[in-house]
Structure 1
Amino acid sequence: MSDILIECSPGISGDMLLGAFYDLGVPQKVIEKPLIDLGLKDLYHLEFKESKSCSIRGIKANVQNSDLSPIKRTWRSIKEVILNGHLEDKLKQTIYEVFESLAIAEGKVHGIKSEDVHFHEVGAIDSLVDIIGVCAALNFLNPTKVYCNEPMLGKGFVQTEHGKLSVPPPAVIELISQKKIKVLSSFDSIEGELSTPTGIALLSNLADYLEPPSKYSMNSYGVGIGNLKFPFPNLVRVYKINSFNDSSISEQINPRCEEISVQEAWIDDQTPEDISNFVEKLRIEGAYDVSYQAINMKKNRIGFSIQVILPIEKKELFRRLWFDYSNTIGVRERTQSRWVLLRRRGECSTTFGNIKVKQTLKPDGSITMKPENDEVLRLELEHKISTHEIRKIIKESSKKFKAFENWK
């Protein structure tokens, strides 16, 4: 079974992704069937046309709005249509998750409940067609894994129902923040919206890996063309591939040995508040870990012993941090080896919704999964139940895992 690689070249939008899947060979009747099943066939007209961007051919998806209703639908009403629709469970769940993430993002940036987000904020009929159509296309192809590269966002302003908004739009910022999506800044000098909220919502929910595989062969590809004119091709490519690395597990030694730097100092002339701020600075700058404790020093003064474990390539930076942000006049430093198991960050669907987790690969090939502690604390405060109960529910209800990164 083939995998799918989505190439944002340079950004991503729902209509470009839909055009690329059609160009890849997904029949239009497959794309439109769930729209018809949900009773939406009279609200739009979908057309696929050959087009070019900077002389590169592809398919442009055009959606004409036939919805004459003056009623502004909310995410609450759209949710009801989706959940009551006669769709297969897997497709229904995927469509629901994409819309929900977009509604949550829009709700947060507008300061309202996600259920009250208006239809034009979740997306007008064209976005409705794009999201449902792309989900249907991917469901039809049924890939083993979905990869994508990092999108670019652009700059400038975009016209919306709320007036002019800066690029990237607030919903895009919220989505990439929630999903921890890496973005590229190479084209941030280009005026225009390179990635739309709909495109980012699709990418963040459909991709299993937010980076391409290290090795793959290509079977076929499709090209979707965007509407905006840039001094470079404005397109999205979707490749049907065979990947050979399964996140590079087979090519990596587990556990693996690596060199680290350990730096430490004793300080007896700074306040606890200053020490706390300094420790936080070390963590922000990329320390693997920081530990500190109160100790008795010369002249019976109470001081602090601070030890930092850090990447070997950052030892010079951290030397400067010690002398710039603390009162120490000397730092002890040594290089050590450590053995670490392969791990990766991601999110898992549970009874509580999608939560951030970390997977660890044991030497025998088994995988353990642990929810991030910040997530456990958040859920404990929200649901007023114990940490033990939270972890038990997460363990029992964990379903699909989506990786944010490869094993490392």
Structure 2
Amino acid sequence: MEEILIECSPGVSGDMLLGAFYDLGVPKDEIEKKLACFGLENLYYLNFRESQNCSIRGIKVDVEKFDQSTKRDWKSIKNLILKTQLEEQLKKRIYEVFESLALAEGRVHGINPEEVHFHEIGAIDSLVDIIGVCTSIEYLKPKKVFCNEPTLGRGFIKADHGKLSVPSPAVIELLRKKNIKVISNIDSIEGELSTPTGIALLCNLVESFQIPYKYSIDSYGVGLGNLNLPCPNLVRVLKINSSDENLIDQKISPRYEEICVQEAWIDDQTSEELANLIERFRKEGAYDVSSQSINMKKNRIGFSIQVILPIKKQEYFRKLWFEFSTTIGLRERIQARWVLLRRKGECLTTFGKVKFKQSMKPNGTIYMKPENDEIFRLQIENNKTAEEVRTIITETCKEFKAFEDWK
């Protein structure tokens, strides 16, 4: 399975990304079919045309709007997405892009995200861009999506809010929230090089902003922007195959990510019920769950239960808390963590195939150890101590065979 590398040269916008994906081979019919699921087919005409920018060929996207008056807010767009009959993964991608924009605009203007009116972002051409780009990713189904760090530009732009400095407040908030680095070495270029829609798509679709230092290129597409710059204004999307040597690049381990921590204190459920609750949390995708006994009000003995989970699951886990526990309140916070890259696999030993786990240190050194469940299994099967089992495994271990990519 190929990977995708998005090359911002120098910036990024939704229409440039869409043009590049079309040039890469995503059919127009596939994009329009998904747009029709939203009931938008009579509100626009989508055209892909070949053009040039600084003598470089590429695809320009033109969206002729039949309805100029509609200004959609996050609540109406959310309902539009949830009602569509789309594949769940595609629906999730589209939802997350718009949600990130709503949260950014809400913070910037100091209002509830539900009340955010998107103005330009809610216009039909932005809907086309976001739905089209998300559809393209689903159509290509890449193994991983990489991107270089974009450039933002400088100066001022005219918006519905009035005159705004570049980068726009929404772009700054999106980048802050996802901790994405940007490049400023060509900041003398005037204009908005990266739009809120373009940055929101990168924030939600790109899995790594560390480009592989070795890869082969299978094919590529070029999307052209509207600004006339001193350099080519384009986005390239490349289908690549990266080398396994990239996996030991010390720059990508440890990996930074944001997580959600949810916690409640409970004193009116039995230990058996709480054990079932904790097991449910683990099965539903929590990274980890911990519990400890505490002394609560009226000198009752209760339990503090803390769950570490992916941010994208925080709303789902809230429902689990209130449905399967007796708590009437829940603490929640977003935290950051650094994790070493890791992967699972197996090695052939005197005992046969044994499951192992590898982790990558910041200097590229790979540390490997057998899974504890395997040690326990081999103890019982061979009537040996854990130390004896570990020694035999270490002495007879063959080459590691990975079950998955580094993550």
Displacement after TM superposition at 1:107 (Å): 1.1
Per the alignment, residue 229 of structure 2 pairs with 230
Distance across 1 between alignment mates of 2:338 and 2:189: 27
Q: Which runs of 5+ in 2 are unaligned?
A: 264-285, 290-301, 317-336, 342-361, 363-407
Q: Does 1:64 align with 2:64?
A: yes
Tell me: CA distance 1:243–1:114, structure 2 relative to 1, closer, same or farther (3 Å).
same
SS at structure 2 position matched to 1:143:
coil
Alignment of 1:287-326 (within 5 A): none
Name the CA shift for 1:396/1:110 in 2 (closer, same or farther; >3 Å): closer
The answer to whether the 8 A contact 1:210-1:405 is kept is no
Letter paired with 2:43: L
Q: Deviations over 1:148-188 (max 9, x none)?
A: 00000010001111111000001000000101011000121
Alpha-carbon separation, structure 1, partners of 2:262 and 2:36: 30
- What secondary structure, in the 3-state scheme, does the structure 1 residue paired with 2:210 have? coil
Cα deviation, residue 394, structure 1:
5.7
1:91-110 counterparts in 2 under 5 A?
91-110=90-109
Equivalent residues of 1:20, 1:59 under 8 A apart: yes
The one-letter code matched in structure 2 to 1:345 is Y
* Cα displacement (A) at 1:390: 3.9
Q: How does 1:97-136 map to 2 (within 5 A)?
A: 97-120=96-119, 122-136=121-135
Distance 2:126 2:247 in 1: 36
Aligned to 2:366: none
Given the alignment of the two structures, is residue 8 of structure 1 paired with residue 8 of structure 2, yes or no? yes
Report what 1:345 is aligned to: 256
Q: Which residue of 1 aligns with 2:210?
A: 211
Pick aligned residue for 1:391 from 301, 307, 318: 307
CA shift for structure 1 position 343:
2.3
The residue type paired with residue 191 of structure 2 is G
SS of structure 2 residue aligned to 1:218: strand
Q: Give the structure 1 partner of residue 20 of structure 2.
A: 20
**Mean Cα displacement is larger for which, 70-79 or 203-212?**
70-79
Deviation track 1:234-269 (CA, whole Å, cap 9, x = no partner) reads: 0000000001248524x66xxxxxxxxxxxxxxxxx
- Whether the 8 Å contact between 1:214 and 1:245 is mirrored in structure 2 is no
Instruction: Tell me if the contact between 1:344 and 1:404 (Cα under 8 Å) persists in the aligned partners.
Output: yes
One-letter code aligned to 1:216 = Y
Task: Work out the number of aligned pairs and report it.
Answer: 288
Distance in 2 separating the partners of 1:232 and 1:395 = 39
Cα deviation, residue 72, structure 1: 2.8
Residue 237 of structure 2 aligns to a residue in which SS? strand
Give runs of aligned pairs for residues 137-176 of structure 1, distance below 5 A.
137-176=136-175
Helix, strand or coil at the partner of 2:305? helix
Aligned to 2:87: 88
* 2:30 counterpart residue number: 30
Instruction: Judge conservation of contact 1:209–1:404 (CA < 8 Å) in 2.
Output: no
- SS in structure 2 opposite 1:151? coil
Q: CA RMSD in A?
A: 3.2
Aligned-pair distance for 1:406?
A: 9.1
Q: Name the CA distance, whole Å, in 2 between partners of 1:135 and 1:165.
A: 28
Task: Out of 58-67 and 7-16, give the one that drifted further.
Answer: 58-67
Report deviation, 1:397.
5.5
CA pair 90-160 structure 1, distance change in 2 beyond 3 A: same
Q: Is the 8 A contact 1:209 1:405 kept in 2?
A: no
Tell me: CA distance 1:36–1:53, structure 2 relative to 1, closer, same or farther (3 Å): same
Query: With structure 1 as the length reference, what TM-score do the two structures score?
Result: 0.65
Q: 1:233-248 counterparts in 2 under 5 A?
A: 233-245=232-244, 248=247
Q: Which amino acid aligns with 1:189?
A: S
Residue aligning to 2:43: 43
The alpha-carbon deviation at position 211 of structure 1 amounts to 2.0
Shift of 1:121: 5.1
1:243/1:60 Cα in 2 relative to 1: closer, same or farther (>3 Å)?
same
2:234 counterpart letter in structure 1: L
Name the counterpart of 1:198: 197
Identity of paired residues, percent?
58
1:296: which partner in 2? Answer: none
CA distance 1:59–1:176, shift in 2 (3 Å):
same
8 Å contact kept, 1:151–1:195 = yes
Query: For residues 342 and 148 of structure 1, do their structure 2 counterparts lie closer, same or farther at Cα, with a shift above 3 Å needed?
Result: closer
Deviation, structure 1 residue 122:
3.5
In structure 2, C-alpha distance between the alignment counterparts of 1:49 and 1:395, rounded to whole Å: 39
Amino acid across the alignment from 2:54? C
**CA spacing shift, 1:98–1:395, aligned 2, 3 Å:** closer
Alpha-carbon displacement from aligned partner over 1:19-43 (angstroms, at most 9, x marks no partner): 0000001100111111101111111
Q: For the structure 1 residues 100 and 396, does the alpha-carbon distance in structure 2 shift closer, same or farther, using more than 3 Å as the test?
A: closer
8 Å contact from structure 1 (residues 213, 245) kept in 2: no
Instruction: Give yes or no for contact 1:247–1:406 (8 Å, CA) kept in 2.
Output: no
1:209-241 Cα offsets, whole Å, 9 max, x none, are: 012112111000000000000010000000000
Aligned residue type for 1:92: K
| 2:151–2:193 CA contact under 8 A, matched in 1 | yes
Name the aligned partner's letter for residue 343 of structure 1. P
Given that 1:226 and 1:235 are in contact with CA atoms closer than 8 Å, whether structure 2 keeps it comes out as yes
Q: Is the 8 A contact 1:210 1:404 kept in 2?
A: no
Residue by residue over 1:280-312, the C-alpha shift from the partner in whole angstroms, topping out at 9 and shown as x without a partner, is xxxxxxxxxxxxxxxxxxxxxxxxxxxxxxxxx
Q: 1:388 to 1:218 in 2, by over 3 A?
A: farther
